C-alpha cells in the first residue's frame, strides 16, 4: 500500500514524502500537520480485495467524493444524492447486475464526472444508469459498455468528450453535447408528441459529424442534440402514445415501438432492411413514416392487459419486452437478435419458429415475475442464454441445440424442454 503524507510547515512550505509498502498506520505531528490518504471508493464504505479494488453494496454518495485509480464492483445500486458530486478518475466501475436491465446507478439533482474511466458489467447482465431532475453527467476519455442505457431524464445535461458510449437515452428536456472524437449511439424518445418531422438528415449516422438540432419529445418538452467532430453509430427512435413521427434520409435506425392497451393487432409490415427504403407503420394512435431511410432493426415494448400483438412480417428484432398481462408473439419471418427479450409480471412472450442471431451481443431471453416465455420450433445458437427469475417460466418445445448450460434459474423460476 502506498501512503502519501503532506506535512505543512509554519512558513507555508510543503514537504512531500512517499512511504511505500508500509503495513502500520503512522501519525506524525510536526508543528501544523495535515495528512491525506485517498482510498478506492472514497468514504461510502465497502470491503477491499486489495490496494486498488473494492466491493460495495448499495453505496450512497451524499456529499462530494473523488474516487481515483481503482476498480470498484457495485452490488445493488450506486446512488448519488441531491447536491452531491461524484468524480471518478481512472476508475473501473463493474456493476453486478442480478437480472438483465438492472438499474445500477441513479443520479437526482446531482453530478457525475468520469475522467479516463470504464463502466461495465461484472455479472455480464446488462445494467443501466438513470439521471433525473437538474443533473449533470460528464464523460471524458471514458467508455461504457454492456449496458441497456445511459438515461437522461427531465432537465439533465449530458456532456460526452472523447468517450465511447454504447447507448445514450434522451428524454424530456435533456441536453446532449457530444464532442472531440466521441463514439456514440443515440436514443431519442417521443411520447404523445403529436406530429414531429425530422426530414433534413438530422438522423443520418456517420463519422466525424458536426450537427445541431432540437426535437419535440413530448407535449411540452424539447430535447437538444449538439454533435461536434464525433462518430454516431446510429439512432434509436422510441415512439409512444399519440405520436406521428416522419423521418427522411435517416440511416442505421432502430425503431422502438411502445404499444400500450392496443387490443389485438397483427403487424405484417416488412419494416427492416439493409438498404434505403420508404414506407410507414401504423398501430392504433402511433404512426411512423420513413422516406429514403434505413430501418435496420426494431424494438418492441408491449404492455396493458388488452394488448395481444403479433409480428408476422420480415423484421429483425433486437429488444422484445412485454409486461402487465399483455401477449407478444413473433412468427417465423422474424429474426430475433434478442439482446434483451424479456417478459414481466403476468405477460406472455411467444417465439414461434423465429431465427435466433447475434450482432455483437449474445441473445438473452428472460421470464421474470409470473410471466411465461414459450419458445416453439426455434433452433438454439451457442451464445443464447435463458433466464427465469421469481416464478417466471420458460417452456421450450421443438427446435434443436438447447442445452442446460445455457439456462440460469433464480428463486422459484423454472425452464423446461419438452
Q: Per-residue DSSP letters for 217-239?
A: EETTEEEEEEEEEEEEEEEEEEE
Q: Is residue 116 part of a domain?
A: yes
Q: Is residue 245 part of a domain?
A: yes
Q: Tell me: do 23 and 145 sit in the same domain.
A: no
- Domain boundary residue among 227, 251, 275? 251
- Domain boundary residue among 251, 279, 314? 251
**φ, ψ at 404 (rounded to 5°):** -65, -20
Q: Is residue 395 part of a domain?
A: no
Q: Tell me: do 199 and 120 sit in the same domain.
A: yes
Q: Is residue 160 part of a domain?
A: yes
Q: Tell me: do 95 and 133 sit in the same domain.
A: yes
As a whole-number percent, the residues of the chain with pLDDT over 70 amount to 88
Range of the domain at 30: 2-35
Q: Is residue 144 part of a domain?
A: yes
- 227 CB neighbour count, 10 Å cutoff: 22
**72, pLDDT greater than 80:** yes
C-beta separation of 130 from 105 below 8 A: yes
Task: Give the mean model confidence (pLDDT) for residues 349-371.
Answer: 91
**11, pLDDT greater than 80:** no
- Mean of all residue pLDDT scores within the chain: 88
Confidence class of residue 339 from pLDDT cuts 50, 70 and 90? confident
Q: Tell me: do 28 and 56 sit in the same domain.
A: no
221 or 100, greater pLDDT: 221
Q: pLDDT value at position 51?
A: 53
Q: Is residue 213 part of a domain?
A: yes
Q: Tell me: do 210 and 100 sit in the same domain.
A: yes
Q: Is residue 261 part of a domain?
A: no
Q: Is residue 190 part of a domain?
A: yes
351 alpha-carbon distance from chain centroid:
24
Pull the grid cell for residue 140.
471524458
Q: Tell me: do 111 and 143 sit in the same domain.
A: yes
- Domain boundary residue among 251, 286, 317? 251
For the chain, the domain total comes to 2
- In this predicted model, what pLDDT tens digit does every residue of 198-253 receive, in sequence order? 999 999 999 999 999 999 999 999 999 999 999 999 999 999 999 999 999 999 99
Q: Tell me: do 180 and 124 sit in the same domain.
A: yes
Q: Tell me: do 20 and 106 sit in the same domain.
A: no
Q: Tell me: do 178 and 114 sit in the same domain.
A: yes
Burial tier of 174 (Cβ tally within 10 Å: 0-12, 13-18, 19+): buried
Q: Tell me: do 103 and 9 sit in the same domain.
A: no
- In this predicted model, what pLDDT tens digit does every residue of 261-316 receive, in sequence order? 999 999 999 999 999 999 999 999 999 999 999 999 999 999 999 999 999 999 99
Amino acid at each position: 500500500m502506498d501512503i502519501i503524507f503532506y506535512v505543512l510547515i509554519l512558513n507555508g512550505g510543503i514537504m512531500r514524502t512517499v512511504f511505500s509498502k508500509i503495513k502500520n498506520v503512522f501519525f506524525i505531528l510536526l508543528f501544523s500537520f495535515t495528512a491525506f490518504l485517498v482510498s478506492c471508493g472514497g468514504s461510502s464504505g465497502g470491503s477491499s480485495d486489495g490496494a486498488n479494488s473494492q466491493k460495495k453494496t448499495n453505496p450512497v454518495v451524499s456529499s462530494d467524493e473523488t474516487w481515483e485509480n481503482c476498480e470498484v464492483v457495485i452490488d445493488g445500486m450506486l446512488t448519488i444524492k441531491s447536491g452531491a458530486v461524484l468524480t471518478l478518475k481512472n476508475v473501473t466501475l463493474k456493476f453486478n447486475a442480478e437480472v438483465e436491465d438492472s438499474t445500477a446507478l441513479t443520479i437526482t439533482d446531482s453530478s457525475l464526472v468520469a475522467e479516463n474511466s470504464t463502466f461495465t458489467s461484472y455479472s455480464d447482465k446488462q445494467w443501466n444508469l438513470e439521471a433525473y431532475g437538474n443533473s449533470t453527467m460528464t464523460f471524458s476519455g471514458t467508455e461504457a459498455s454492456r449496458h441497456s442505457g445511459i438515461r437522461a431524464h427531465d432537465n439533465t445535461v449530458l456532456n460526452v468528450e472523447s468517450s465511447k458510449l454504447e447507448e445514450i437515452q434522451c428524454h424530456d428536456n435533456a441536453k446532449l453535447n457530444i464532442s472531440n472524437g466521441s463514439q456514440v449511439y443515440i436514443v431519442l424518445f417521443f411520447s404523445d408528441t403529436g406530429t414531429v418531422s425530422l426530414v433534413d438528415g438530422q438522423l443520418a449516422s456517420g463519422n466525424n459529424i458536426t450537427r445541431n438540432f432540437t426535437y419535440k419529445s413530448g407535449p411540452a418538452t424539447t430535447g437538444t442534440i449538439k454533435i461536434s467532430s464525433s462518430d454516431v453509430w446510429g439512432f434509436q427512435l422510441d415512439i409512444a402514445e399519440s405520436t406521428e413521427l416522419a423521418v427522411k434520409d435517416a440511416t442505421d435506425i432502430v425503431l422502438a415501438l411502445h404499444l400500450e392497451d392496443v387490443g389485438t393487432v397483427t403487424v405484417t409490415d416488412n419494416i427492416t432492411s439493409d438498404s434505403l427504403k420508404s414506407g410507414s407503420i401504423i398501430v392504433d394512435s402511433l404512426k411512423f413514416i420513413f422516406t429514403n431511410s434505413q430501418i435496420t432493426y426494431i424494438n418492441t415494448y408491449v404492455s396493458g392487459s388488452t394488448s395481444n400483438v403479433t409480428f408476422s412480417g420480415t423484421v429483425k428484432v433486437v429488444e422484445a419486452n412485454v409486461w402487465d398481462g399483455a401477449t407478444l408473439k413473433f412468427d417465423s419471418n422474424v429474426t430475433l437478435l434478442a439482446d434483451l427479450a424479456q417478459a414481466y409480471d403476468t405477460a406472455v412472450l411467444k417465439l414461434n419458429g423465429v431465427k435466433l442471431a447475434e450482432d455483437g451481443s449474445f441473445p438473452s431471453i428472460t421470464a421474470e415475475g409470473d410471466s411465461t416465455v414459450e419458445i416453439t420450433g426455434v433452433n438454439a445458437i451457442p451464445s443464447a442464454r435463458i433466464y427465469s427469475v421469481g416464478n417466471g417460466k420458460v417452456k421450450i418445445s421443438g427446435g434443436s441445440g438447447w442445452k442446460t448450460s445455457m439456462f440460469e434459474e433464480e428463486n422459484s423460476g423454472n425452464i423446461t424442454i419438452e
